Amino acid sequence: MSDQPDNEKQIWTHVQKKIKEKVTSQQFTTWFESLKLIRFDADEAYILAPNSFSSEWIENNYTDVLSSTLGEVTNTCYKVKLVTESKEVKEPGPSVQSNEPSPKEKNRSNINRNYSFNNFLVGPCNRLAHAAALAVSESPGTAYNPLFIHGPVGLGKTHLLQSIYLALQERSGIQKVLYMPCESFVNHYISTIKTGDWDSFRNKYREIDTLLIDDVHFLANSQSTREEFFHTFNALYTCQKQIVLSSDCPPEEIPAIEERLISRFRWGLITRIDPPGFETSVAIIQKKTALMNMEITYDVARYLAENATSSIREIEGTLTNINKYAIISENKIDLDFVKQVIGRPTKHKSYIGIEEILGTVTKHFGVQLSQLHSKRKLKSITLPRQVAMHLARKLTNLSLEEIGGFMGGRDHTTVMHADEKIKNLRKQDRNISATLRKLETTIKKQHKQ
């Protein structure tokens, strides 16, 4: 594959010469020198990159330069296809500490040894979930049973469930702990329908001391699995065995779920993980980079936090990429380099700020900000106050605690209550729902300006 026919060789020499004039010499040596044009195929030009990292980098950053220069030399418009020799001997590659577990770290039960309590950064967005998980790992079956953790993807639910697993394993080897993605439970159930071996199915779950089921929203898909899950739950609960569940939504929002299961989930503690606020994002970035032996300055961490999506998994992906490219291009990870790697953020996280919400809400209802902050319980003030908290939940990525802070130092439960109340009003009262729509439109419009 890497043979370069004469014609292609000649063309490539011209192309490289021209590219040299378009990019810096450092860019040329890092990215272009070792490329080879290997063949043309209809309207495609195949270019061989030395490894997948440079191929990915060039594809993201330099395809325009490559195709335009190829066009200049050949007078034909080619689509550039970057390839690597797939059968080549594996490149040593940079020694990046990936967050993916190595086969050794990942044992048969899907456990990632990096998902320990020690590696979990606590902030306002996950404080309750973390405290509850820790308590469960210290006294399973008695602290909170069941413990139900919910929140959007990529925010640490699996991490916390596995932290419980790891802590229990470490503290008492005699505890029988089972961690299982719900999908595996569903698959096990379905395969048991075929084999009919219900004894071994039931024994598997009923013999354990702590059952950790991840992503229980998967139960939505099958009524009969929910039925079986219900019996498993009851059997364990009756024997005071610990049950921990995670889901991407609160119990009552799992589609098609029966009330009796929802009420079982409510017997214990239901806690939610929110997207990290700015400070927590910075702290997570600093913790992750330290774990990866990446040296970054505070302004880089800040920039990354400002431009990060709300998912910690995505933040990790960005860090891994930056590290890879820094190693391969032998660059220092400074602000310029990071900007270059993550590109001009397309979805710049230009968050709506709570100040914008408060401004619009006070103006609409004709109240003062100090009145919203106050403890006064007049309806003419409580309604705008609750509306502001609801809109802050909906439109910003601030945590409950952070919103409480902006609302005159209120507790996170007050924010949660206000949010729930307005959500319900929104469903029942057309006037309120029209007002809220209008407020949202105004806030978004002002924000764009």
**288 vs 412, beta carbon nearer ligand ADP:** 288
Angle between helices 379-395 and 354-365 (to 10 degrees): 150
Q: Interior CA angle at 109 toward 105 and 115, to 5°?
A: 50
**146 vs 154, beta carbon nearer ligand ADP:** 154
- Judged on CB neighbours under 10 Å (0-12, 13-18, 19+), 135 is middle
Tell me the number of residues near Mg ion by CB under 5 A. 2
**287 vs 445, beta carbon nearer ligand ADP:** 287
What is the four-CA torsion angle of 376, 381, 384, 390, rounded to 10 degrees? 30
Partner that binds at residue 155, options ligand ADP, Mg ion, none, CB closer than 5 to 8 Å by kind: ligand ADP
**182 vs 387, beta carbon nearer Mg ion:** 182
What is the nearest approach in angstroms of ligand ADP to the Cβ of residue 59? 25
Binding window for Mg ion (CB under 5 A); candidates: 49-57, 149-157, 188-196, 222-230: 149-157
Residue numbers of the site for ligand ADP (CB under 6 A)? 99, 115, 119-121, 126, 153-159, 284, 312-313, 316
Partner that binds at residue 115, options ligand ADP, Mg ion, none, CB closer than 5 to 8 Å by kind: ligand ADP
**242 vs 318, beta carbon nearer ligand ADP:** 318
Answer whether 258's CB lies under 8 Å from 270's CB. Answer: no
**271 vs 329, beta carbon nearer ligand ADP:** 271
Partner that binds at residue 27, options Mg ion, ligand ADP, none, CB closer than 5 to 8 Å by kind: none
Binding window for Mg ion (CB under 5 A); candidates: 63-71, 79-87, 158-166, 397-405: 158-166
Cβ-defined contacts of 43-47 (< 8 Å, 24+) = 43/76, 43/77, 43/78, 43/79, 44/78, 44/79, 44/80, 44/81, 45/70, 45/78, 45/79, 45/80, 45/81, 46/81, 46/83, 47/80, 47/81, 47/82, 47/83
What is the nearest approach in angstroms of Mg ion to the Cβ of residue 219? 15
Is residue 99 within the footprint of Mg ion (CB under 5 A)? Answer: no
In the block, which residue shows the tokens 């932290």? Answer: 163
**214 vs 228, beta carbon nearer ligand ADP:** 214
Residue number, nearest CB to ligand ADP:
156
What is the nearest approach in angstroms of ligand ADP to the Cβ of residue 322? 16
Bridge partners of residue 40, in order along the sequence: 45
What is the nearest approach in angstroms of Mg ion to the Cβ of residue 169? 19
User: How do strand 44-48 and strand 36-41 relate by DSSP bridges?
Assistant: antiparallel
Cβ-defined contacts of 223-227 (< 8 Å, 24+) = 223/256, 224/189, 225/185, 225/186, 225/189, 225/190, 226/257, 226/258, 226/261
Is residue 158 within the footprint of Mg ion (CB under 5 A)? Answer: yes
Binding site for Mg ion (CB under 5 A): 157-158
